[in-house]
Amino acid sequence: MKYSTKSGKLEDLRTDCLIVTMHAARSVARALELDDYLAASSHDFVDKAGRAQLITLPKATSIRRLLVVGVGDDAELSPADYRKAIAAAATALKSAPVRDSVLAIDAFKVAGYDGYQKARVALASLTAQLYRFAASKQQQDETPPAQIAQLAVHSTARGHGATSSAVRHAQALDTGMAFARDLGNQPPNVCNPSYLAAEARKLARGASPKNRVRVKVIDEREIEKLGMGAFTSVTQGSATPGKLIIVEYRGAAAKMPPIALIGKGITFDTGGISLKPPAAMDEMKFDMCGAAAVLGTTKAVIDAKLPINLVTLVAAAENMPSGRASRPGDVVTTLSGQTVEILNTDAEGRLVLCDTLTYAERYRPKAVIDVATLTGACVVALGAHASGLFANDDALAASLLSAGEFIWDRAWQMPVWDDYQQNLKSNFADMANVGGSDAGAVVAACFLSRFAKQFAWAHLDVAGSAYASGAAKGSTGRPVPMLFQYLLNQA
């Protein structure tokens, strides 16, 4: 989607579709001498959040259609009702014969939101709603894809500066979200560790200036040579070699410590020797959504040219059963020197992440955030609405929670208490990689915390939020909005 800004009188705009509230629609109709036409056309319209009606205007007008969005009688919408209103607009735009549209942002009054936040939240919602993946389809769907390609945000001259900033940041987020979702939705016979590495390299090619972004790919042989025994134990069962992908973005002075993002990139997870049941195993192509999210966030940061230093590390591997695959009971030595007894080969994400966390120490980061579709237990605990947040630093956790609330990509903080560490005891190694059926998401985070003692660290378990099942099956792109907003706030 191409975003832009507009100002001036609403009735003077030239557009396929003007998105307005009923109050603003009446004002526009009055100026165009179409009061009676609007009244007759909107006779059955219910002015309530979540409702929208597309009204085609006479051909003589420069505004071809009004998309009237319900807001109710309240002076201000709640943030939740505002999102309902924008979602209703997006649903209408999906099936409308509209190439370009203008959103009259000042028509919407939202409790606690200034003009910048109104525009950011609206455009983030439209980005999420209007995305469509059809790269591997040859036949047209019964419902054709949305035709809209351009959307402008209209504001008064007084609010133009804030709106312009919001649109610039929203455009970067839109690009990053599309990148992340495309990666997540690719079939696993396309999106393997080599494919992720190739897509990461493209981030450097599009950067300006060119020396701002550097991409390095460490292959499986070097991963093993470095002593990353936990990482190697996962990837050794696959015929497709694993890779540690590193993207370094320099937007600030070299002396400024970077923020590190780490993504779990298990491009397909069979469970290994601890084989998963076949039902819904196709969804295990989404086990690399953490990697997709950090790469998408990095693309957004590059496009926005944020004045920060960022290093993104992707632990890319397939988890497959074979004669070379790890067995339950194997003991491996991690890059940190700690040993792990592998009791369940389907708890592989924490194995590639723990070595990557240790590798991140060499960057002396200001903070490290890892993102992973790590545990089914987190889905049981939080469902799809919130990502699970675990951290060893309260300030970092608060910053992420605040960023998520701002852009409505929310998380819920969970404990990483020492009480849970005893679940990881092993008779044969420093720790086991699983700890029983209780508090699975917490115990997994406790495992990772043992490798994150040298820096401020947060872990986002996005097993429930990174993709959807059922009729809406596909990558959601989360938590790219939260991460990008967090990095914007840091900048």
Beta bridge partners, 371, equal: 263, 460
Q: Is 276 a catalytic residue?
A: yes
Cβ contacts of 16 within 8 Å, gap of 6 or more: 64, 65, 98, 99, 100, 101
> Residue 262: exposed, middle, or buried by beta-carbon count in 10 A (0-12, 13-18, 19+)?
buried
Helix, strand, coil % in the chain, rounded to nearest 5 = 40, 20, 35
Structure tokens at 266: 């298990």
Of 169, 121, 155, nearest in space to 3 by CA: 169
Tokens of 441: 């998401």
Which residues touch 471 (CB under 8 Å, ≥6 apart)?
none
Separation CA 66–CA 15 (nearest Å) = 10
Secondary structure of residue 131 in the 3-state scheme: coil
Peptide bond into 241 cis (omega under 30): no
Closest CA to 332 of 432, 412, 453: 432
SS3 367: strand
What distance in Å separates the CA atoms of residue 355 and residue 368, rounded to the nearest whole number? 13
267: CB partners within 8 A, 6+ apart:
188, 191, 192, 193, 195, 196, 240, 285, 287, 288, 316, 317, 318
* β-pair partners for 260: 311, 368
Closest CA to 267 of 289, 293, 297: 289
Choose, from 109, 132, 216, 276, the residue flagged as catalytic.
276
Q: Is 350 a catalytic residue?
A: yes
Q: What angle do CA 96, 101, 104 make, to 5 degrees?
A: 120
Q: Which residue has the tokens 């001036």?
A: 8
End-to-end CA distance of the chain: 25
Q: Which of 299, 350, 410, 478 is catalytic?
A: 350
Alpha helices in 32-78 (DSSP H): 35-41
Whole-Å CA distances, 399 to 209, 288, 306, 402, 486: 30, 25, 17, 5, 7
Tell me the C-alpha distance between 424 and 439, whole Å.
12
Residues β-bridged to residue 248: 214, 311
Active site members? 276, 350
